[in-house]
Amino acid sequence: MKNKLIGFAALMLLFVVQASAQKVAPLRLKGTVTGAKDGIIYLQQYDNKIFKTVDSTLVKNGRFSFATKVQLPELYGLKLTGDGYPVQVFLEDAPIEVAIQWGEKGGRAEVKGSKAQAYFESSSKEQRKQTAKEFIETDPKSIVAAYTLFRNYSYNLSPDELEAHIKLLDPSLQQTQYVSILKDLIQKQRAVLPGKKALDFVSKDPNGNTVRFSDHLGKGYVLLDFWAAWCGPCRRENPNVVAAFQKYKNKGFTVFGVSLDKDKASWVKAIKDDGLDWAQVSDLAFWDTEAAALYGVRFIPSNLLIDEHGVIVARNIKGEELQEKLKEIYGE
């Protein structure tokens, strides 16, 4: 009898978790657009830092609607034809109205009917004052908690800290894309901690030639540098990397650049403009770059310092810290 009661309780717990988790349901979304009476508006789902189009509809007399079956609740983007970054909205299985004001550089929206969106907007300023733990514990069942841990807090958390924070989220959020990506990230980052062997990969150089990373190991210290032409912080860090390269290249130090660019022309121009005179590769795949995924890269600029034996000795050292580490290695 006791076993039956335990089994029944477990079944009920599973039911509660499943009932509160994401589900596929038709949108009940209506909207207006100020600044564009007619045209096409695209519905885009947020997928690992990229908005991917899942549907589109016509804007007629400044109005539109969607009844698309999608994963809910979740973050989506609404974007007009040929115009900038999408308006970001957390959509739910509820009637939602969106009033978009669109301009030359994109738009902003007023949203009614989405509790997740209301919470996201009200908590945005508080995130700057709160720790990840404090933010999650405010509403551990909200999709916003999972998204914010993934998007805003995960950069500064170690694999062990990430694992602990994931446990703070409600069980209903454990199957979301955010938690799934972070769990995968934990395993990948643990595989490339200092003391671990550098992982091999292949990509293409600016001339389209296939380059194997391991061919550049074993001759001296290598800084594996993840960057992009579109990344402001990367471009500001580049002079520091160039200075380190110029100072220690005759002692065996070199750099191997992996770009998260999408546009080849911009990538090649940035290499020339910034004087990056070392091996450069790119999949031209933005955040879907294979090497970035392999090394658990969540932000750029990001780097790993690898010794002559192919062993990782440091991760994400920049500015003066990079210079001091190289001075320690080379003695000057």
Give the pLDDT confidence of 218-261 residue by residue, as tens digits: 999 999 999 999 999 999 999 999 999 999 999 999 999 999 99
What is the reported pLDDT for 163? 97
Quick one: CA torsion of 44, 46, 51, 54, rounded to 10 degrees? Answer: -30
Q: What is the DSSP string of 127-188?
A: GGTS-HHHHHHH-TTSHHHHHHIIIIIGGG--HHHHHHHHTTS-GGGTTSHHHHHHHHHHHH
Confidence band for 102, pLDDT divided at 50, 70 and 90 = confident
CATH number of residue 293's parent domain:
3.40.30.10
- Phi and psi at residue 92, to the nearest 5°: -135, 175
Structural domain boundaries, residue 142: 124-190
- Phi and psi at residue 207, to the nearest 5°: -90, 5
Q: Evaluate whether residue 225 is within a structural domain.
A: yes
Q: Evaluate whether residue 5 is within a structural domain.
A: no
Residue 19 has pLDDT above 80, yes or no: no
From CA 158, how far away is CA 191, in angstroms rounded? 13
Q: Evaluate whether residue 4 is within a structural domain.
A: no
- Phi and psi at residue 272, to the nearest 5°: -70, -50
What is the reported pLDDT for 121? 93
Please list, in sequence order, all residues whose beta carbon lies within 8 angstroms of the beta carbon of residue 197, skipping any fewer than 6 positions away: 310, 311, 312
Q: Evaluate whether residue 69 is within a structural domain.
A: yes
Q: Evaluate whether residue 18 is within a structural domain.
A: no
325 with 230, same domain? yes
219 with 282, same domain? yes
Domain boundary among 113, 143, 165: 113
Confidence band for 169, pLDDT divided at 50, 70 and 90 = very high
pLDDT tens figures, 196-225? 999 999 999 999 999 999 999 999 999 999
Decide if 273 contacts 249 (C-beta within 8 A): no
Confidence band for 104, pLDDT divided at 50, 70 and 90 = low
Over residues 88-114, the mean pLDDT reads 89
Residue 330 has pLDDT above 60, yes or no: yes
Least confidently predicted of 116-125, 221-230, 276-285? 116-125
212 with 301, same domain? yes
The CA-CA-CA angle for residues 189, 191, 192, to 5°, reads 70
225 with 298, same domain? yes
Residue 274 has a CB neighbour count (10 Å cut-off) of 17
Over residues 3-24, the mean pLDDT reads 51
What is the reported pLDDT for 6? 42
Return the closest-CA partner of residue 153 out of 142, 165, 141, 143. 165
Question: Which of 7-16, 19-28, 32-41, 58-67 has the largest mean confidence?
Answer: 58-67
Domain boundary among 190, 210, 234: 190
CATH number of residue 35's parent domain:
2.60.40.180
What is the reported pLDDT for 106? 63
305 with 224, same domain? yes
Q: Which residue has the higher pLDDT, 210 or 103?
A: 210
Over residues 40-48, the mean pLDDT reads 93
From CA 320, how far away is CA 264, in angstroms rounded? 31
From CA 104, how far away is CA 106, in angstroms rounded? 6
Over residues 261-274, the mean pLDDT reads 98
Confidence band for 68, pLDDT divided at 50, 70 and 90 = very high
Q: Evaluate whether residue 2 is within a structural domain.
A: no
Residue 18 has pLDDT above 50, yes or no: no
What pTM does this model have?
Answer: 0.83
213 with 312, same domain? yes
224 with 166, same domain? no
The CA-CA-CA angle for residues 166, 170, 172, to 5°, reads 110
Q: Evaluate whether residue 3 is within a structural domain.
A: no
60 with 172, same domain? no
Residue 98 has pLDDT above 50, yes or no: yes
Q: Evaluate whether residue 13 is within a structural domain.
A: no
Please list, in sequence order, all residues whose beta carbon lies within 8 angstroms of the beta carbon of residue 161, skipping any fewer than 6 positions away: none
